[in-house]
Amino acid sequence: MAQASINGKPVAPQRSPQVLSRSAILILSGVLIGSSIQQGPLDGVSFYSFCTGIVGMVSFVGLELVSQRGRQRSVRKTLAAADSTLTKRLRRQVECQSPRSCRVRPTALTEGESSYLPATPACR
């Protein structure tokens, strides 16, 4: 997955230091499988090391999927927050520029301005 960024700043969270990385699990699993197959027939200890290597590969795939989903969730959450902020700012700008929706408070007319108001005779 490519590194997601907003304005050049990375979006994904910083990785915490791990005691044993996923790639180390994959390498050790490959060594176990290779050494058990090299010894000949799979019986006794070589069978157990082969099974351990398979379990290690399955756990590598599982950990990788969980990690990828977590990164995607974090990126989606950050992008949604940025989108929400930008949408709010854009709405404020658009509303203030349109004359209909911009709320103008009525001001009290001064005495000089009130004489210029049109007068209509009351019809009975």
pLDDT in tens, 103-113: 555 666 665 55
- The answer to whether the beta carbons of residues 4 and 11 sit under 8 Å apart is yes
- The answer to whether the beta carbons of residues 6 and 79 sit under 8 Å apart is yes
pTM of the model: 0.52
Give me 8's structure tokens.
Answer: 């050049």
pLDDT in tens, 27-55: 999 999 999 988 888 888 889 999 999 99
Place of tokens 């007319």: 109
What's the mean per-residue pLDDT of the chain? 78
Query: Who's near 29: CB < 8 A, 6+ residues apart?
Result: 52, 53, 54, 55, 56, 57, 60
Q: What is the arithmetic mean of pLDDT over 62-69?
A: 91
Domains of the chain, by residue range, sit at 20-98
